[in-house]
Amino acid sequence: MASVQLADGVLNYQLDGPEGAPVLVLSNSLGTNLHMWDTQLPALTAHFRVLRYDTRGHGQSLVSEGPYSIEQLGRDVLALLDALQIERAHFCGLSMGGLIGQWLGINAGHRLNRLIVCNTAAKIATPEVWNPRIETVLRDGQAAMVGLRDASIERWFTPAYAASHPDQAKRITDMLAATSPQGYAANCAAVRDADFRDQLGEIKVPMLVISGSADAVTPPSGGLFIRDKVKGAEYAEFHAAHLSNVEVGEPFSRCVIDFLLAR
């Protein structure tokens, strides 16, 4: 693990894979940390220099005063690339990470080679969903995070996967219980306020959208909307709930690799 110094704190990151290989940035979902991508590492590091990081408010990165914005989180990515002297990179983000990817595609496409957004949408849910969650977390603190962890299993994984892979499901959902309540609430606000529906046409970099057919949080309709608005965007769908990278594993990794290596 390593960190870079931002203006208001540190951003935790980890680099894996051969030096000199193309850089692939992986961006975590709301309530997880960079280890949500552990399943992908063996396959991805065979081809890429993989840069994972804990989004502001998560893991070992700074927890600054909220609310946050997706623009702020996107600028954190650019600051990380600048600090590591990486001019251009591939980017793959899931859920909230997918919103960050959309912001980067719209506003900093010159820093991207290819863009993958997974289990996400141009707008995720409504204030009526996010505001009560923010209020509960800020009021009840870590106890609320434990409650969210227990409720997240059915949102993040299909029942069949959760039943057959209990240790893996627990490993991922425990990340949520360990997340800073302040950081989580601040990121909920960033997701609440993000709406890229009218800006998607500005994305010009090659793009792949991945959805999960059993994802109740960000259904395939949201991924198809992005695909239809971004000229030339490709689309893939797996039988999975919200964390398709964890649930699908190797086929997910192969889909990512094939897209990034395509000519």
DSSP symbol at 22: P
Query: Over pLDDT 90: what percentage of the chain?
Result: 95
Closest CA to 121 of 28, 31, 210, 25: 210
Q: Which domains does the chain have, with CATH numbers?
A: 2-261 (3.40.50.1820)
pLDDT score at 1: 73
Residue 77 region by backbone torsions, left for phi larger than 0, else alpha for psi between -120 and 50, else beta: alpha
pLDDT score at 154: 86
**Over 80: is that where the pLDDT of 25 sits?**
yes
**Residues listed for the chain:** 263
- pTM for the model stands at 0.97
* Arithmetic mean of pLDDT over the chain: 96
pLDDT score at 152: 87
**Over 90: is that where the pLDDT of 151 sits?**
no
41-93 pLDDT, tens digit per residue, is 999 999 999 999 999 999 999 999 999 999 999 999 999 999 999 999 999 99
**Over 90: is that where the pLDDT of 150 sits?**
no
Averaged pLDDT for residues 220-241: 98
